[in-house]
């Protein structure tokens, strides 16, 4: 009898894995940015181990193709089930019905796990549509060797005594140097990492008290054409065209980092991801000073990054939610920071990794994220807004008249925003 029971149990035990394996696995289709495949695979493997019933098929889409791929696929139905959402695009997708409202699945207490500025970005018209995957901040990187060589004291590394933009411009003028007197600048005073992106440039205007868009997110006339906005943009114009302390036409963040990393610029206004990546440049000794502000204005820093959302038309809602919770959760955020170095959008991750974040540079940024961070404008027309403002800044940095360009931009943007009324 006893033997029979044992035999029976053994048979059950032997069948168990078969039964489990036979349970139909749900396959989630996920659109993700083409971050290094080996890293993403590691993250996904962790999820699949915890959730044997769910397979995740991640399509890695190169950054240049990501938004247009989503624009083609989202209007036609149920796939992808889960996708990477650029934080400020949440309202754009939500307004068009591409995102599943998430309020009923996350309690307010749960939502407190993320930075408030990130959760603000997740909401549109009072509803929650995406969950933060990472966030960002920015500060003023400086090359210590260049400062030393030309006898300029290092800027402070305390948020309390951040530089004003006026001071930055002065230092930049001192440190824009033609070393061999051949008429060519060898060291530039100041780099703007993302030379024309509103992400990087709006905080200048916001520091002077300007807003990037109306509270309802549908009008820019009177906002990007306001006096403080124009003044801040004139300062930006002077960097390239009057003082000539910043080089024109650096197309992207990666190139800016190359310039700064190779000692071709004394300062760089740049995002947090540089902390890890600048360390890869041999012989570069750099520091980080808090984000500058305009004298008499307030300190404002950019923030926000990637979020994750669920397709409103998915047929695999439960599995998608499970995945969403995992990928934005504490464990995955820790893992992803170790792998890729993104700034986690969850304060609890900073506490969990003191060995990384006790670094004084991260401490500055963490304080900025908590105190001075202002999310990008909330508008369903962010795609249009971002591109047109970017083109406008681009023209201005090449020398176009700031006030005129901003007026034109406001007209064009507002025309595009009309469709969301």
Task: Give, as ranges, the residues between 327 and 386 that touch other proteins (CB under 8 A).
Answer: 340, 342, 380, 383-384
363 φ/ψ angles, rounded to the nearest 5 degrees: -60, -40
Q: Which residue's structure tokens are 């139905």? A: 77
Residue 214 or 394: the one with the smaller Cβ distance to other proteins is 394
Site map (CB under 8 A) of other proteins, residues 283-322, x = contact: ----------------------------------------
> Which of 34, 312, 352, 353: binder of other proteins (CB under 8 A)?
34
Among 82, 85, 94, 95, binds other proteins (CB under 8 A): 95
Tell me how far CA of residue 207 lies from CA of 11, 201, 298, 362, in angstroms: 71, 10, 5, 22
Q: Read off the tokens for 394.
A: 């681009």
Structure tokens at 13: 């035990």
| Listed residue (353, 310, 364, 308) closest to 330, CA to CA | 353
DSSP string, 269-309: EEETTHHHHHTTSTT--EEEEPPPB-TTS---EE---EEEE
Using CB under 8 A as the binding rule, the residues of this chain from 226 to 285 that contact other proteins are 247-249, 251-255, 257-259, 261-262, 264, 271, 273, 277, 280-282
Nearer to other proteins by Cβ, of 235 and 393: the residue is 393
Among 65, 125, 315, 401, binds other proteins (CB under 8 A): 65
Residue selected from 51, 69, 170, 225 as contacting other proteins according to rule CB under 8 A: 69
In whole angstroms, give the CA distance from residue 339 to residue 334: 9
| Contact stretch for other proteins (CB under 8 A) within 90-98, 143-151, 163-171, 314-322 | 90-98
CB 278 within 8 A of CB 261: yes
Binding string, residues 155-194; x marks residues near other proteins by CB under 8 A: ---------------------------x-xx--x------
> 3-class DSSP state for residue 213?
coil
The site string for other proteins over 12-31 (x = CB under 8 A, - otherwise) reads -----------------x-x
Q: Which of residues 106-165 bind other proteins (CB under 8 A)?
A: none
Integer angstrom CA distances of residue 54 from 15, 18, 45, 310: 20, 16, 11, 16
Query: 33, 152, 312, 321: which one contacts other proteins (CB under 8 A)?
Result: 33
Q: Please identify, among the stretches 108-116, 121-129, 329-337, 389-397, the one whose residues bind other proteins according to the rule CB under 8 A.
A: 389-397
Compare residues 273 and 293 and give the one whose CB is closer to other proteins.
Answer: 273
Binding residue for other proteins (CB under 8 A) from 26, 47, 54, 61?
Answer: 61
How far apart are the two ends of the chain, measured CA to CA in Å?
A: 77
Q: Does position 395 bind other proteins by CB under 8 A?
A: yes
Question: Which of residues 97 and 116 has its CB atom nearest to other proteins in the complex?
Answer: 97
Which tokens in the block code for residue 9?
């149990």
CB 163 within 8 A of CB 140: yes
Q: Decide: residue 321, CB within 10 A, 0-12 exposed, 13-18 middle, 19+ buried.
A: middle
Among 46, 51, 60, 228, binds other proteins (CB under 8 A): 60
């Amino acid at each position: 009898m006893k033997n029979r029971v044992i035999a029976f149990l053994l048979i059950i035990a032997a069948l168990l894995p078969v039964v489990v394996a036979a349970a139909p696995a749900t396959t989630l289709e996920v659109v993700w940015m083409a971050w290094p495949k080996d890293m993403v695979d590691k993250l996904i493997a962790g999820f699949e181990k915890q959730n044997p019933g769910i397979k995740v098929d991640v399509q890695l889409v190169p950054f240049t193709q990501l938004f247009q791929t989503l624009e083609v696929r989202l209007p036609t139905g149920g796939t992808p089930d889960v996708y990477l959402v650029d934080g400020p695009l949440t309202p754009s997708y939500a307004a068009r019905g591409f995102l599943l409202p998430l309020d009923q699945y996350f309690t307010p207490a749960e939502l407190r796990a993320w930075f408030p500025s990130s959760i603000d970005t997740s909401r549109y018209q009072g509803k929650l549509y995406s969950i933060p995957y990472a966030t960002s901040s920015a500060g003023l990187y400086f090359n210590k060797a260049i400062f030393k060589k030309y006898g300029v004291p290092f800027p402070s590394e305390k948020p309390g005594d951040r530089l004003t933009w006026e001071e930055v411009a002065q230092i930049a003028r001192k440190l824009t140097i033609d070393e061999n007197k051949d008429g060519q600048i060898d060291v530039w005073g100041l780099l703007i990492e993302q030379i024309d992106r509103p992400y990087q440039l709006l905080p200048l205007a916001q520091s002077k008290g300007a807003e990037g868009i109306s509270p309802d997110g549908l009008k820019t006339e009177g906002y990007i054409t306001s006096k403080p906005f124009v003044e801040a943009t004139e300062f930006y114009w002077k960097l390239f065209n009057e003082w000539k302390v910043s080089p024109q036409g650096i197309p992207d963040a990666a190139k800016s980092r190359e310039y700064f990393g190779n000692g071709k610029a004394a300062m760089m206004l740049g995002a947090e991801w540089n902390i890890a990546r600048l360390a890869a440049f041999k012989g570069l000794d750099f520091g980080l000073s808090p984000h500058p502000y305009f004298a008499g204005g307030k300190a404002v820093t950019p923030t926000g990054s990637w979020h994750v959302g669920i397709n409103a038309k998915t047929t695999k809602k439960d599995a998608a939610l499970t995945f969403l919770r995992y990928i934005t959760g504490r464990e995955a955020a820790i893992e992803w920071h170790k792998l890729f170095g993104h700034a986690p959008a969850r304060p609890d991750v900073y506490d969990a990794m003191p060995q990384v974040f006790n670094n004084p540079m991260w401490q500055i940024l963490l304080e900025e994220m908590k105190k001075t961070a202002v999310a990008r404008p909330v508008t369903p027309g962010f795609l249009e807004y971002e591109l047109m403002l970017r083109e406008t800044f681009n023209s201005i940095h090449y020398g176009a008249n700031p006030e005129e360009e901003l007026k034109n931009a406001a007209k064009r943007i507002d025309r595009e925003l009309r469709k969301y009324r």
